[in-house]
Structure 1
Amino acid sequence: MTKTKLTRRQFLKRSGATATLMTAAVSGGGSLMPARASINGLPDGFYVPAEEEPHERTFMQWPVNRTVHPDRWFLADLQQTIADIANTIAEFEPVVMLMSKEHLPAASRLLSDPVEVWDIPTDDLWCRDAGPLFVINDNGGLAISGIQFNGWGGKQVHGNDGEIAARVAHRLGLEIYPSGLFGEPGGVEWDGDGTLLAHESCWVNDNRNALPKAEIENRLLSAYGAEKMIWAPGVPGYDITDDHIDALARFIRPGEVIIQVPYPKDDDIFSVSARKTLSILRSATDARGRPVKISEIPSPDRTRVTSDDFVASYVNYYVCNGAVVCAQFGDPETDHEAATTLKALYPGREVIALNVDPLGETGGGIHCATQQQPKTV
């Protein structure tokens, strides 16, 4: 059966969202574009730890919204893929799948026993963006830094997803400290040691924040407990995320970044942007004054899915306790090289490569579908 779906890179082309943001109210939540975000800021000493630090658990979201995914066959493929990722991570650390309880009977047939389900309604699967951004301090404190999800600038219904962070906070009895920003943690990379990396296109953008760049930077640094921002331009208006950094470049550890480089023949707008980001990183220093060390990884050349909109990102991996869960795309040479590179960069962790093509068809990957809760002392 032919699958008809709307990829995250096709969304703007078909919806006209580059010209007009959706403002209609959605079931289960407020408007798609809240007028403003409150500001509270993190208390002194709180910060977002690096992803490679120990986790208490991983959060994920069960995709169900038929407005977002009208093709039920493709939605079933997405749900199977999310279950595969959750079942893999659950071999290394606890996993909580967020979903309305009405979906549990069907989901339980796909999820392994270790995966816990919390009755928190969802729309889509992108927990990196809609899920809670946890912060800790050195005294064992745990809280949530409030970056408000607004459907990637009002481009997708998010009546449930826009409430996920608050509902998780309520269940855990945690305080939320609003940053005064709209946006998504998938749009910023952090090293846990004072440095952030982001594309301006998904932050300095009126569909999220009608604020001066300097003010957005200050609020982002405050939201992460960080000290220095490395900006690259990015690409506004060509995909639903406005070019999230986590599909291109990731911090491996403080002072070190891995970036997926395009081939010389690639001249699309995202490849051009990637080269600009790489150039900026080559001359950048981090919050401690260290030149950024860069590891490059190639893009796959022969993927199972050949659509121009397919996102084949090796760097959109997830680091959990004892493992790195990454994607493979059907190109034997680059799949092997990616796994080998990650094994070298993350010694002592098992590298597990999964076929997650349905995520690439919708414009994301494994990192986009996960959000970690750090372990506290």
Structure 2
Amino acid sequence: MLAGIGATALGASACGPDEGEEDGGEDAADRTPRTGAEWESHARTFMSWPALDSVWGEDLRRVREDVARVARAVAEYEHVVMMAGPEQLAAARKACGRGVEVVPLPVDDLWARDTVPVFVEDGGKVTGVDLNFNGWGGKQEHTRDARVGRALLAEYGIPRREAPLTAEGGSLETDGEGTLLVTESSVVNDNRNPWKSRDRIEAELKRTLGIRKVVWLAGVRGQDITDAHVDSLVRFTAPGVVLLDTAHPDTPADVWSRAADQARAVLSEATDAGGRPFQVVDLPQPDLSRITGEGDDFVSTYANFYVANDSVFMPRFGDRRADSRARSILREHFPGRDVVPVRIDAIAAGGGGIHCATHDQPGRPAG
């Protein structure tokens, strides 16, 4: 998610210099976890039913329609679990239809990518790494979302490990082979990880997620609620291959285009965990004069796509030429998968995209 709407400050990260111990028993330090790639098999997709009137106001109805539309689309390809507060169950079930499982688990907003734990393979089992969600560095109050990780893992009987740092799922992009892309602005930041240097955070990411190499991108501080998550900037499509968000030629240069230029420069000189140079492929944005959505916080990147079983879900912004071009690029890089455009103007106006609203659990597809 990029831009923010409304804010009630939270405290800074609860992890001090020596906090953030792992759960999991005495042999936890001896295990080597693995974080898979999004294109690997999913057991299910988790989503959240938005409930914050204080954030969405009169747009809440429209954003719920978008969330339900995404859920129904993904449910054509894999099992979707929609978390909703008890008072919202009936509305969520009616909107999502019978193909989506709606479970009574209290949430604040739709950003499941950031509130649901990151799943790793650990000791032959899937473990949820709880990233200590704190409202993107205290920019919004998300009391229920802060508890989603522990509650969801308990509901599904998945072991939990608490990360020794604070971050969000949208700030981490991996190839499944030990390479991690991260924007420094969203993690090496006192609003998440006070007292921690980049080197220390890198070591903790490697140990906790089984990462062998971290490639740091600068990002942008303070311009949006996430401090520039990587999942709206650059995404893996295969080990060594990334799609980079690229501004439309008619869009004036701004902090976001400069962040993309910086990312391109870093990736052109870097190698991944396997020693491969990166192939950087442009993923151009739509023409803002042709899109159907609007708003100062509108996120017009195609990079915030979601890879599900046999499928890829991308936003449909209404610029037919750009939508078609993005779909062709995704088809080329995900051969054999259906590339499904979904209209999400209300979600995008709120600062996010399809990837922000979904979170995959690895494993065999749920029956």
| TM-score normalized with structure 1 length | 0.89
1:35 deviates by 5.3
Find 1:55's aligned residue among 42, 45, 52. 42
Structure 1 CA distance for aligned equivalents of residues 46 and 12 of structure 2: 24
Partner of 2:146: 162
Relative contact order: is structure 1 or structure 2 higher (C-alpha 8 Å, sep ≥ 6)? 2
Alpha-carbon distance, 1:285 to partner: 0.2
Q: 1:341 aligns with which of 316, 322, 329?
A: 329
For residue 253 of structure 2, the aligned residue among 267, 291, 297 is: 267
**232, 235, 255: which one pairs with 2:220?**
235
**What residue number does 2:14 align with?**
34
Deviations 1:85-108 (A, max 9, x none): 011111111000001122111122
Amino acid at match of 2:330: L
The answer to whether the 8 A contact 1:233-1:273 is kept is yes
SS in 2 for 1:69: helix
1:68–1:33 distance in 2 versus 1, CA, 3 Å: farther
1:103–1:10 distance in 2 versus 1, CA, 3 Å: closer
Q: Give the alignment partner of residue 286 of structure 2, picking from 281, 297, 300.
A: 300
Shift of residue 138, structure 1, vs aligned partner: 7.2
1:371 paired to 2:365: no
Q: Which consecutive unaligned segments of at least 5 residues does structure 1 have?
A: 1-6, 16-20, 24-30
Aligned Cα RMSD in Å?
Answer: 1.9
Alignment match, 1:202: 186
Q: What 5-or-longer segments of structure 2 have no aligned partner?
A: none
Call closer, same or farther: CA 1:10–1:367 in 2, change over 3 Å.
closer
SS at match of 1:369: coil
Q: Distance in 2 between matches of 1:149 and 1:234?
A: 19
Code of the residue aligned with 2:352 in structure 1: it is: G
Do the aligned partners of 2:15 and 2:166 also contact (CA within 8 Å) in 1?
A: no
* Counterparts of 1:217 and 1:336, CA distance in 2: 38
Quickly say closer, same or farther: Cα 1:10–1:62, change in 2 above 3 A.
closer
Instruction: With the length of structure 2 as denominator, give the TM-score of the two structures.
Output: 0.92
Query: 1:130, 1:112 → 2: CA distance?
Result: 24
Q: Deviations over 1:255-289 (max 9, x none)?
A: 11111112455311111111111111111100010
Cα displacement (A) at 1:221: 1.9
Do 1:68 and 1:157's aligned partners in 2 also have CA atoms closer than 8 Å? no
Shift of 1:145: 1.3
- Runs of 4 or more above 6 Å deviation: none
Query: 2:79 aligned with 1:94, yes or no?
Result: yes
Quote the residue 1:18 is aligned against. none
Q: CA deviation at 1:223?
A: 2.5
Matched to 2:318, the amino acid is G
Q: Distance in 1 between matches of 2:220 and 2:114?
A: 18
Match of 2:32 in 1: 45
**What is the CA-CA distance between 1:306 and the residue it aligns to?**
4.0
Please say if 1:76 is aligned against 2:58: no
Are residues 1:9 and 2:16 paired?
Answer: no
Question: Is the CA contact (8 Å cut-off) linking 1:179 and 1:222 kept in structure 2?
Answer: no
Percent of paired sites with the same residue? 38
